Structures are given as C-alpha cells and as structure tokens.
Amino acid sequence: MKSIEDFYTGAVPYIGLFNAFAQKHELVGATGADHLCYKCGSMEGFEDVRAVLEEGSTYLYQTIISGRRIAYIKLKKPIETVLGPIWFIELSDQKPDGSQTDSYDHIEVFPTALTYHEMVERLEKTEKVIHVARPHHTTDDIDIGGFLFRCTQGALIEKIKLEM
C-alpha cells in the first residue's frame, strides 16, 4: 500500500460485502457504521500503513491495547456505506503472538434506532453471531465472507473521549 487511494481501493470489496449484509438485514436507518479496522502483519507494516493513512487524515490517536499499538485515525474523506460514512480507521499492530496478517478485518456498527439487544437479536434470527468478551471491548461478531460485521454498543471515538 503506497497511497491513501490504495487504501480506499483495497477497501472496496469489503464495503460491498458490508453494504449487502446491512441491506439484507434491514439495518439501514436503524444502525450506523463506526469504523473500518485494518490489521497489520508486522510492526514495520503498521508504521508504513500508519504513514500512508496519516497523509489522508485530520486526527490520530494511538494507544497500547493488549500489548500492541492501536491507532485510531480520522480520514479527511470518508468511506461511504449504506449505514453512513466511515470517518475513522482502526489500525492494529501485529499481535504479540505474531498471528496476524495484513488484512481489512471488520467494520463496527452501533444501534441508532434500535437497542443493542434488538440489533443483535435481529441478526441472530438468521446468522451465527459470536459473542466476544474482551477486557477492553465486548462485541458480537458475524463473519460475512472473511470479513467481520462487528456489533458494538456505541462509537469508539466516544469511548476514547471518555478515557482521555
């Protein structure tokens, strides 16, 4: 990945999967897209991708979560989805166990006109939903073809603001 445009182009197939899934489950108008996550396969890759994303950004917050760097980056130009524009990228450094590869990993979605329980319940009617409890962030995930549709309580930027 050599430019911010390469990042946008690489995201296109995943946005297509995401949009089709959201429409299939009638989530348009009931939920919002929060951020797109890209996971890096090496520490060097993390630094390279972060530098590319910084070119197209207006905000960057970086922290250590579970022993690795996580950067939260606000784009100058959003990625458009049927659940609204995605302004933020979550960039994840390699895990301490070395198990990650370079990949677009997930888009997090939060309820806007439903409760969280109603959103997850709607999806559980036809999808395999995996509840993932982490110390820093609990989600309900659905694999939509090698990419995750990740349900969360609210926007990550709001959690970051509270912790700052």
Residue 155: its pLDDT value, please?
Answer: 64
From residue 3, give the alpha-carbon distance in Å to each of 47, 48, 51, 54, 154. 13, 10, 9, 10, 30
Q: CATH top-level class for 4-163?
A: alpha beta
Between strands 68-79 and 57-65, the pairing is antiparallel
What phi and psi values does residue 130 have, to the nearest 5 degrees? Answer: -105, 120
**Tens digit of each residue's pLDDT (9 = 90 or more) over 57-113:** 999 988 887 788 989 999 999 999 999 999 999 999 988 888 889 999 999 999 999
Q: What is the pLDDT of residues 15-53, one digit of tens each?
A: 999 999 999 999 999 999 999 999 999 999 999 999 999
Phi/psi zone of residue 70: left (φ > 0), alpha (ψ -120 to 50 degrees), beta?
beta
Report the length, in residues, of the chain.
164
Q: Give 131-140 pLDDT, tens digit per residue.
A: 999 877 789 9
Is the pTM for the entire model greater than 0.85?
Answer: yes
Residue extents of the structural domains in the chain: 4-163
CA pseudo-torsion sign 37, 55, 86, 144: negative
Residue 136's pLDDT is 73
Residue pair 93/70 in contact by the 8 Å Cβ criterion: yes
CA dihedral (56, 58, 60, 61) positive or negative: negative
